[in-house]
Amino acid sequence: MDRKQHWEQVYSTKASDSVSWFQEHADQSLRLIHNTMLGKEAAIIDVGGGASRLVDDLVAEGYTDLTVIDLSAAALSVAQQRLGKCANSVHWLEGDITRTDFPARRFDIWHDRAVFHFLTDSADRHAYVERVMRAVRPGGHVIIATFAEDGPEKCSGLPVVRYQPESLHAEFGDAFQLVEHQKEAHHTPFGTVQQFVYCYCRKGNS
């Protein structure tokens, strides 16, 4: 089964609030987005957003330039149905983040929770970082959350790479400044705890 088939099956067979990564509100992500101090017209992309409710909260707060990309059409459909008419104000992209062509300097904020850690192949990580380099404007904001070094070894049955702030930042390189990092103990719907690390980086001005 390839990775798209895997995710289509997950979102076609499980309720979106019963998966291990479910959050009623993506509080840590929202805090970091607010901390950028950008206005509501900021161009924000949620990478591998799936059926996450982050987009609901950003729409409700009045953000006007939101993009959600995910491999799974089923995941995007869950989010669209939930948002109803508000879904029309969001750009939805179905695609693999390691293969999608983005316009240059399109986004002010790149957000990814629990997607980069699935890239166990260095060529995929390289392709991902190339896309961040191209699609995020100079001085833009990059928020990446992965399983921490003491987090689970698998997510959704797939192997992951676990990171410390320094090793996660190293994947992105010197073009990005690590501004802040934070651990989060995520409580899953079935009562277990998963350690995440959030890294907030600024892209250099060149």
Ligand X SMILES: C[S@@+](CC[C@H](N)C(=O)[O-])C[C@H]1O[C@@H](n2cnc3c(N)ncnc32)[C@H](O)[C@@H]1O
Per CB under 6 A, residues contacting ligand X are 3, 7, 21, 48-50, 52, 69-72, 75, 96-98, 113-115, 118, 155-156
Contact 76, 11 (CB under 8 A): no
The residue among 117 and 181 lying less far from ligand X, judged by its C-beta, is: 117
CB of residue 99 to ligand X, shortest distance in Å: 8
Nearest residue to the partner ligand X, using Cβ? 50
CB of residue 66 to ligand X, shortest distance in Å: 14
The residue among 128 and 176 lying less far from ligand X, judged by its C-beta, is: 128
CB of residue 130 to ligand X, shortest distance in Å: 14
Query: At a CB cut-off of 8 Å and minimum separation 6, what does 131 contact?
Result: 97, 98, 100, 102
H or E stretch at 92:
strand 90-94
CB of residue 205 to ligand X, shortest distance in Å: 28
Strands 65-70 and 43-47: parallel
Question: Which CA distances in Å does 16 have to 107, 144, 147, 186?
Answer: 27, 21, 20, 16
CB of residue 180 to ligand X, shortest distance in Å: 19
What does DSSP assign to residue 163? B
Residue 178 tokens, joined: 């690590």
The residue among 32 and 71 lying less far from ligand X, judged by its C-beta, is: 71
The residue among 2 and 174 lying less far from ligand X, judged by its C-beta, is: 2
Contact 188, 22 (CB under 8 A): yes
Contact 157, 115 (CB under 8 A): no
The residue among 49 and 165 lying less far from ligand X, judged by its C-beta, is: 49
H or E stretch at 2:
none
Distance CA 93, CA 88 (A): 13
Distance CA 16, CA 77 (A): 11
CB of residue 17 to ligand X, shortest distance in Å: 10
